[in-house]
Amino acid sequence: MNLEEYFKRIGFHGSYDKLDLATLKLIHRQHIMSIPFENLSIHCGEKIIMDLEVIFNKVVRGTRGGWCFENNYLFSWVLRQMGYDTTTLGSRVFDTSINDFESQEVHLINKVIIEGKAYIADVSFGLSGQIREPLELISGKEQPQDGGVFRFICKDNLWMLEKTGRRTEVPNPEFAKSSLVNRKETRLIHCFSLEPREPDHFFQVNNDLQTDPTSLFTNKSICSLQTPTGFTALVGLIYSEVIFKPDEGVDLYNMKNITEDELEAVLMEKFKVKLQNKMQAVNRRVVLEF
């Protein structure tokens, strides 16, 4: 494991002598543009293990992405190796099916302190909830990014992340009423406290989310990669290319079905993912909106 291999994987060729915000923003953006958010191991009969060497071999040396317990755990190692003041936190994701935050901390994020200011780095939320760059941890401040305007709201020491996006437009009439398309312009993403978390805090939930038959991740195979103009997503056999059009106040969702025979080629061409084991594409009726 070394930083040079990681930087090559994300296409970062700059200097990291300065532990400043500009460098953090750059590697954060390069990571999300290069390494997909995906849970495909679950649907290939593979076990997802929170072991840094295993993750490094899979994500950096292999042709894979991962979910937050892989990507953000790896990113925390990268930041610490670089010398950033980094603390790992756990967050509870907002569940639209219950209109509330989940009871468990099912998402791993990182807090970074630079020149006395705190920032939240998260390279693995995926889809439309993905931040392009770290967000300053300050309540009420509107922080515009490519995908919309993000803001933190702090109440009773609980930090909530909210996003205001744009109107969605779906040209393919077959998907005009798709349950996958998020149509709420303002929505809550997740919430967290500032209590530090060690990696073992997430071991059980990392296992539960890949084995529980009611889990989103056992019911849907998901692969998503951020692009300069939006993001791509593959949920089951539904492939989407989302294009941000801020000048028009709209996000364009180009959605189509692909076949099992096309799956391997789409994963490689659109996500640079090559699987070692055969995947079963899954898209059962569990709520997921992107």
136: CATH? 3.30.2140.20
Whether 185 is covered by a domain: the verdict is yes
Which pLDDT value is given to residue 287? 87
Determine contact, residues 86/80, Cβ cutoff 8 Å. Answer: yes
Whether 135 is covered by a domain: the verdict is yes
Which pLDDT value is given to residue 21? 97
For 191-204, what is the mean pLDDT? 98
Reduced 3-state DSSP string for the chain: CCHHHHHHHHCCCCCCCCCCHHHHHHHHHHHHHHCCEECHHHHHCCCCCCCHHHHHHHHHCCCCCECHHHHHHHHHHHHHHHCCEEEEEEEEEEECCCCEECCCCCEEEEEEEECCEEEEECCCCCHHHCCCCCEECCECCCEEECCEEEEEEEECCEEEEEEECCEEECCCHHHCCCCCCCCCCEEEEEEECCCCCCHHHHHHHHHHCCCCCCCHHHHECEEEEEECCEEEEEECCEEEEEEEEHHHCEEEEEEEECCHHHHHHHHHHHHCCCCCCCCCCCECCCCCCC
| Rounded-to-integer distance, Cα 217 and Cα 208, Å | 10
Which pLDDT value is given to residue 15? 85
Q: Does position 49 have pLDDT exceeding 90, yes or no?
A: yes
Whether 276 is covered by a domain: the verdict is no
Percent of the chain scoring above 70 in pLDDT: 100
Tell me which of 28, 31, 43, 68 is the catalytic residue: 68
First to last CA, the chain: 34
Q: Does position 285 have pLDDT exceeding 90, yes or no?
A: no
User: Which tokens go with 201?
Assistant: 């805090």
Order of strands, edge to edge, in the sheet holding 37-38? 37-38, 222-227, 230-235, 238-245, 250-257, 167-169
Which pLDDT value is given to residue 81? 97
Whether 278 is covered by a domain: the verdict is no
Whether 167 is covered by a domain: the verdict is yes
User: Which tokens go with 284?
Assistant: 């059962």
For 197-221, what is the mean pLDDT? 97
Which pLDDT value is given to residue 286? 85
Q: Does position 67 have pLDDT exceeding 90, yes or no?
A: yes
Whether 275 is covered by a domain: the verdict is no
pTM: predicted TM-score of the whole model, two decimal places: 0.97
Is 142 or 288 the better-scoring residue by pLDDT? 142
| Rounded-to-integer distance, Cα 117 and Cα 80, Å | 17
pLDDT band of residue 162 (cuts 50, 70, 90) is: very high
- Give the total number of structural domains in the chain: 1
Mean of per-residue pLDDT scores for the chain: 97
Tell me which of 28, 107, 191, 251 is the catalytic residue: 107
Determine contact, residues 2/61, Cβ cutoff 8 Å. Answer: no
| Rounded-to-integer distance, Cα 93 and Cα 102, Å | 6
pLDDT band of residue 223 (cuts 50, 70, 90) is: very high
Tell me which of 28, 31, 43, 122 is the catalytic residue: 122
Q: Does position 37 have pLDDT exceeding 90, yes or no?
A: yes
Closest CA to 110 of 129, 128, 132, 84: 84
Q: Does position 14 have pLDDT exceeding 90, yes or no?
A: no
Whether 223 is covered by a domain: the verdict is yes
Whether 284 is covered by a domain: the verdict is no
Q: 92 lies in which domain range?
A: 1-269
Closest CA to 83 of 45, 114, 56, 52: 114
Active site residue 68: yes
At residue 47, φ and ψ (nearest 5 deg) are -95, 130
User: Which tokens go with 59?
Assistant: 């994500």
For 173-201, what is the mean pLDDT? 96
Active site residue 13: no
